[in-house]
Chains A and B, each alone.
Chain A
Amino acid sequence: MTDVLTPVLTDNWDQDRAWTLAAYERQGGYASLDKAFAMTPDDVIAAVKESGLRGRGGAGFPTGMKWGFIPQDNPKPKYLVVNADESEPGTCKDIPLMLATPHTLVEGVIVSSYAIRANRAFIYVRGEVLHVVRRLQKAVEEAYAAGHLGTNIHGSGYDLDLVVHAGAGAYICGEETALLEGLEGRRGQPRLRPPFPAVAGLYASPTVINNVESIASVPSIIDRGAAWFAGMGTEKSQGYGIFSLSGHVTTPGQFEAPLGITLRELIELAGGIREGHELKFWTPGGSSTPLLTPEHLDVPLDFEAVGAAGSMLGTRALQIFDETTCVVRAVLRWTEFYKHESCGKCTPCREGTWWLVQTLARLEKGQGSEADLDLLLDQCDNILGRSFCALGDGATSPISSSIKYFRDEYLAHLTHGGCPFDPAASTVFSPTSSPVGARA
């Protein structure tokens, strides 16, 4: 029986100066390099396929299969790009990983680049995390000095250059083709697919784009074996993942567990919902994944079960809200976010998110009428599946799911002539709440 929590990526976050090469190597870091170099690149791809690793950035596409799409007969250079633009509201796993153990990511980059036969790799990190950028820069510098990067790595004959690239503030750049636009020095707007990045990505060359956690998981698979990784998790959602609990729990934080753990188990580990309060609604994987309620506490948090429950596993960003939180206020704020972050390329998203805010803001003030709920759902229907990329789809998730579960609360705003909630009651420093913010 596998333990409830299975620290792998987080296992050395508590080490002294964990971010340094010395600390990382003391813990056995960079051991996967020589193992990988002893294998053919195709065998490395096969091992990652066998492990069952599925993309940890939200979509859950099999990582090894993505690598297999790279046409090796294409004479152009191949590129690996790490998506470190962690910006999905509620998602906060990649940033602490890169802050604590940037070398785990660098090691993963080297093995993954070797597998797809790339000699150039990039880490596209969002610009709004200065100290993470510092730690990445230092890790790359140390890895070069130690011969883990550069020419003829570990005498293998394999060469790799790695550049840390800071973005400049755009949620849309988490979308992989918008990220490539940013990396090419352009406005971050998504590209039409096909062609897919695997065929024509960065500089129209074959490119793999993977999330930080996906790439960081690769060394453990090579080092300990595909079967070891696949032995954790559920049948079709294998391995471990970092689950991020935030909001109204006693001890928010990062919990690394096999996929399939439930929110009930995680909330218990986080010390329960803050004292004197109860769970009202939650997101399983960021604000773009439809809201769930207490009735979903026992849904296994894997791709299949969360999908069957009407939502998505996403990035395992579990934002927990108790009964003091107004769901209309929460949804309005997320909708304002999507409106702000809409890149403007396509009409359904650019105009649609604007109208969603107009309609929601009126409801939140207690104005409008019940028919506005149908108007909202109609607007969602005109965005979902009709926008150019998943940003527009995501914008509809909180709205349609909140109307599904909390229709009465929308109506209460109309009968009450405004929001019936006291916003101060939901804060961590509310006199009626336990001091969540003062946790040790």
Chain B
Amino acid sequence: MTEHVGPGPVRPHFTENDRPLPPEAWAELREIAARYPEPRSGLLPMLHLVQSVEGRVTPEGIEACAEILDISAADVNGVATFYTMYKRKPVGDYHVGVCTNTLCAVMGGDLIFERLKSHLGVGNDETTPVEEGRASITLEHVECNAACDYAPVMMVNWEFMDNQTPESAVQVVDDLRNGREVHSTRGPRLCTWREAERVLAGFPDGLADEGPAAGPASLAGLRIARERGWTAPEPDGGPQAVEQPATKEGAVDEADTSRAASETLVQETQGDVDPAEEKQK
């Protein structure tokens, strides 16, 4: 889905870096690896930290992760290229993601994305030029971000901007570019993309207490329950538990997916059954 709309040549996946990874970053990368029983488990958050320090995943960052985890740079590279949040081109001060999965697209996400592309003069996965006194923005369309009850949804540095319109989305990016204060609809004042990546690496920024507990859509059912006096039953009020399936076979008969059923049967028969055959059932 990487169309190239803006002017200039397509950048190579990795460009040369002009500065080494600072020693503090090395120390923090080691700190992340030490959180886990096996250090390699730290790789995903470590790459988030590399992005926070470098503004993208750089060759230097890959080398640092590889050396700390005692794996090859190719191994790290393989991971970095698998996950969509890792960027090999420099990301702007703010990453703006417009949900264009079906529900948000239908509810207006497609029109929001089109408007932002023309307003910012960039295509998907492209960044506005760096200008003195203005913040830069990387625009991308994103997949479902688990906020469908607030559709159409836009994410800025992975913070929720709920219930957007083309006009409100343009206002948000203009405010961000001009340094005006913008708040997530369910979170704090928007930080920069690099600051956000640092939190994802596991270094809290102290903003957890900002924003509401829940937005209005999250409370839709609860509000009705309160109005009508509906509650969960009191303990000891309900009927007794009915008999549960006693065997795996009984459970998988009731389970929802034929795949779960077939795999459990395969497990039961210790591999005697060809899984391909079982899946046909």
Contacts from A to B (Cβ < 8 Å): 2-8, 10-11, 13-20, 49-52, 54, 58-62, 64-65, 77, 86-92, 94-96, 99-101, 120, 126-131, 133-135, 137-138, 141, 163-171, 182-188, 193-194, 196, 203, 224-228, 230-232, 235-236, 238, 240, 243-247, 251-257, 269-270, 287, 303-304, 307, 312-314, 317, 319, 321, 325, 329-331, 333-334, 337, 340-341, 343, 385-386, 389-390, 393, 423-424, 426-429, 436-440
Nearest CB of B to A167, in Å: 6
Q: Do B111 and A7 touch (CB < 8 A)?
A: no
Q: Do B101 and A19 touch (CB < 8 A)?
A: no
Q: Do B146 and A319 touch (CB < 8 A)?
A: no
Q: Which residues of A contact B48 (CB under 8 A)?
A: 127, 166, 168
Q: Which residues of B contact A232 (CB under 8 A)?
A: 232-233, 238
Do A17 and B213 form a contact, CB below 8 Å, given A185-B79, A330-B102?
yes
Do A228 and B146 form a contact, CB below 8 Å, given A134-B199, A429-B108?
no
Nearest CB of A to B262, in Å: 8
Question: Considering the complex of A and B, which 10 residue pairs feature the smallest CB-CB distances, nearest first?
Answer: A231-B238, A253-B220, A185-B43, A255-B221, A246-B148, A168-B83, A169-B85, A3-B230, A169-B84, A138-B208
Which of A60, A128, A227 is B142 in contact with, Cβ under 8 Å? A128
Q: In the bound complex, how far is the Cα of B107 from the Cα of A289, in angstroms? A: 20
B163 interface hit (Cβ, 8 Å): yes
- Jot down 21 A-B pairs with beta carbons below 8 A, ordered by A: A3-B230, A7-B222, A19-B209, A59-B256, A59-B257, A61-B255, A62-B255, A65-B251, A91-B146, A130-B196, A130-B200, A131-B207, A133-B199, A228-B233, A230-B241, A247-B151, A254-B217, A255-B220, A307-B256, A329-B105, A437-B164
Q: Do A244 and B148 touch (CB < 8 A)?
A: yes
Chain B's closest residue to A172 (CB) is B82
Q: In the bound complex, how far is the Cα of B271 from the Cα of A196, in angstroms? A: 12
CB-contacts of B5-62 with A (<8 A): 35-38, 40-45, 47-48
Nearest CB of A to B147, in Å: 6
Which of B44, B163, B230, B256 is A185 in contact with, Cβ under 8 Å? B44
Q: In the bound complex, how far is the Cα of B101 from the Cα of A224, in angstroms? A: 40
Q: Which residues of A contact B207 (CB under 8 A)?
A: 131, 134
Known: A8-B232, A203-B37, A333-B101. 7 other contacts (CB 8 A): A61-B251, A89-B101, A129-B145, A133-B199, A133-B200, A138-B204, A428-B151
Q: Do B237 and A231 touch (CB < 8 A)?
A: yes
Binds A, one of B125-133, B170-178, B242-250: B242-250
Question: How many residues on B have C-beta within 8 angstroms of the other chain's C-beta atoms?
Answer: 114
Q: Do B221 and A424 touch (CB < 8 A)?
A: no
Among B143, B150, B213, the most chain A Cβ lie within 10 Å of the Cβ of B213
Among B204, B216, B238, B251, the most chain A Cβ lie within 10 Å of the Cβ of B238
Q: Do A52 and B244 touch (CB < 8 A)?
A: yes
Q: In the bound complex, how far is the Cα of B231 from the Cα of A7, in angstroms? A: 6
Q: In the bound complex, how far is the Cα of B186 from the Cα of A62, in angstroms? A: 34
Q: Do B147 and A95 touch (CB < 8 A)?
A: yes
B110 interface hit (Cβ, 8 Å): yes
CB-contacts of B242-270 with A (<8 A): 242, 244-245, 248, 251-252, 254-260, 263, 266-267
Q: Which residues of A contact B276 (CB under 8 A)?
A: 386
Q: Do A6 and B149 touch (CB < 8 A)?
A: no
